[in-house]
Structure 1
Amino acid sequence: MSDTIYKIVPASLWQAARQQGRFEGAPVDLADGFIHFSTAAQAPETAAKHFSGQTDLLLVAIDGAALGAALVYEPSRGGQLFPHLYGALPLDAVRWEKPLPLGADGRHVFPEMN
């Protein structure tokens, strides 16, 4: 498994995290008690299922290895193992952040993920 995991997040929420110096999670994360992430293979389906038609999103790449034991891969959609972070995301674990625009077909256009 790659050690890079991804978070799709509204740009305004991410801006607030930058000001705080850490990301506590989106409302769904706070409700579930962990921060939801996706692998590179899972991110497009996550975008389609949970962010359909939404604009002003960012794709944030995270160094999963930097998160230690707080990062747990757990079964979710269709039995796939999804990365979940039990705790706040320290911004020093962020590798990069890029816009996640909508294409002409209404689907999000993903940047190269590496």
Structure 2
Amino acid sequence: MAKLIYKICPAALWRQAERDGVFTGAPIDHADGFIHFSTEGQLRGTAEKHFAGQGDLVLVAVDEAVLGEALKYEISRGGQPFPHLYAPLALSAVRWVRPLPLGHDGRHRFPPLAA
């Protein structure tokens, strides 16, 4: 079974990636020099810290085994190792893309994360 990592992304930015055939990252990724991902256990914290109250997002699940040596786990928030991709994301590594809507309480409603 594939080990998945996740990218929270504005839906319009992801639609552009689908048109382009590759995802080169969001503005924060460009500024930092890598594409930020989260593990399943880090996902909700990432949503709360970086995407609080934002609608029109998608959750992108990526098979980390396909990414090769360009994927590095590096210490970040709270001393945890986060997955960082030092290359464009080939859409062939994407296992699924699902909406990440806001609930009535303003918190994101995560879809089932199983492949």
Q: Is residue 26 of structure 2 the alignment partner of residue 26 of structure 1?
A: yes
Structure 1 unaligned regions, length at least 5: none
Alignment of 1:93-104 (within 5 A): 93-104=93-104
* CA displacement at 1:55 relative to structure 2: 0.4
d(CA) in 2 for partners of 1:14 and 1:78?
A: 28
User: Unaligned stretches of 5+ in structure 2?
Assistant: none
AA aligned opposite 1:94: V
Q: Distance in 2 between matches of 1:13 and 1:59?
A: 12
Q: Post-superposition, which runs of at least 4 consecutive aligned residues in structure 1 deviate over 6 A?
A: none
Amino acid at match of 1:72: K
Residue 76 of structure 1 corresponds to which residue in structure 2? 76
What aligned pairs does 1:41-80 form with structure 2 within 5 A after superposition? Answer: 41-80=41-80
Q: Which residue of 2 aligns with 1:38?
A: 38
Count of residues paired in the alignment: 113
Tell me the CA shift for residue 105 of structure 1. 1.1
Report the Cα distance in structure 2 between the residues aligned to 1:100 and 1:8, rounded to whole angstroms. Answer: 8
- Root mean square deviation, CA, Å: 0.8
Aligned-partner Cα distance in 2 for 1:39–1:107: 19
Question: Residues 20-51 of structure 1, C-alpha deviation per residue, up to 9 Å, x if partnerless?
Answer: 10000000000000000000110111001000
Identical columns (%): 64
2:14 partner letter? W
Give the letter for the 1:7 counterpart: K
TM-score, with length taken from structure 2: 0.96
Distance 1:51 1:21 in 2: 25
